[in-house]
Amino acid sequence: MSSIVAIVGRPNVGKSTFFNRLIQRREAIVDSVSGVTRDRHYGKSDWNGRNFSVIDTGGYVVGSDDVFEAEIDKQVKLAIDEADAVIFMVDVESGVTSMDEAVADLLRRSNKPVLLAVNKVDNSKRLENAVEFYSLGLGEFYPIASTSGSGTGELLDALVEALPEKPDVEESELPRFAVVGRPNAGKSSFINALIGEERYIVTDIAGTTRDSIDTKYNRFGFEFNLVDTAGIRRKSKVKEDLEFYSVMRSVRAIEHCDVCLIVMDATRGFDGQVQNIFWLAQRNRKGVVILVNKWDLIEDKETNTMKEYEKNIRREMEPFVDVPIIFMSVLTKQRIFKAIETAVDVYKNRSKKIKTSELNDIMLPIIEAYPPPAYKGKYVKIKFCMQLPTPQPQFAFFCNLPQYVKEPYQRFLENKLRKEFDFTGVPVSVYFRKK
């Protein structure tokens, strides 16, 4: 079970740069204007064989100092609430500020592991200046320079050491379908519509996370748990909070489910946050169904409106485009059961096991007709393939020179597997191994 690490601190101390280094992608927008990270950013990282999710809590819209103070305060409390460990980042250039002291005070009182990272320490003079951060009372600090990466290794060693060992949670045998998406896309209404109309509910079990409810549900002769991540409205008037919470909860729900039902608002489109959630589900190798809600609100629909809309979503999802997209309206109950039926199909695709003999009978003739291209005059010969014993579809192809098989051919085989064995909605992994 993967842990969650939150990066907190004042705006503009270098949190986003550090975050990008951890997840090895340029994802957060890095800018020297204070408070530029509006959306929450999250991704997967690993160090010394431990996987964890990273949340970059970002800055806030510039307001007066006291507004800032209140927002940072709220954000740190959220991180303490939800994360398993917190990296508190400060900036050696500006020294200890009153806001740093306020954050440190909150963190000291939490029972969470806190690692103090002093950023922008890129010479010995600055290393001397960093000593003043002992005054925050958080113990040892880690001098780093997130732009060059210096010092981050020691920080990550300590982080992995501090992360609590997560026992494998006793999972119920039932498949778990998580309903995720940005706030106000209609997640709660979707679940209420399903539950309100059906009387098959057996029980409500509190989920692995506070406020996230598993509802046992039975339809189409198929029983599963519906995980509602929308039960997170902490009576808060601040949209920033909701956004942050929804991200935290989505991360947890996605990691512990089999299929993600990503609910998006048709009037907003497949925007950045929805793409992030989709990317997260895909990185976690989960089944995915995209539900375009509020389709009844799209005006001036013509014959091709739906086709065009779908085409645009698929363009954004490349290269993983083999995903069911369902246009629905929770309000008019249009296609809401189609959504569940599709999720059940995707679940079955994800747990499909193919006999080795059948796999070879179908795939080897395809490989013979379209062999991998020669590389530096060497020919790759694939002799045999098998499905690996993993929860999701992964295949090993045994050959003489696995290192010469390039990504386009890997994708070609993945697409053939999808077509021949119907893996719609599920990430398929293909590996090449030495025979």
Binding-site residues for GTP sit at 9-16, 56-60, 119-122, 181-188, 228-232, 293-296
What lies within 8 Å, CB to CB, of 365 at 6+ separation is: none
Bind-site residues:
9-16, 56-60, 119-122, 181-188, 228-232, 293-296
Give residue for tokens 């940072």: 72
What lies within 8 Å, CB to CB, of 363 at 6+ separation is: 385, 413, 416, 417, 420
List strands edge to edge, sheet with 287-293.
204-206, 213-219, 222-228, 176-180, 259-265, 287-293, 325-327
Q: What is the dihedral of CA 204, 206, 211, 212, to 10 degrees?
A: -80
Q: Which of 313, 205, 50, 3 is nearest to 326 (CA)?
A: 313
Instruction: Residue 115: count other Cβ atoms within 10 Å of its Cβ.
Output: 22
| Cβ–Cβ < 8 Å for 177, 257 | yes
Strands 222-228 and 213-219: antiparallel
Rounded Cα–Cα distance for residues 75 and 95 (Å): 21
Rounded Cα–Cα distance for residues 11 and 13 (Å): 6
| Cβ–Cβ < 8 Å for 262, 288 | yes
DSSP string covering 218-267: EETTEEEEEEETTTT--S---HHHHHHHHHHHHHHHHHT-SEEEEEEETT
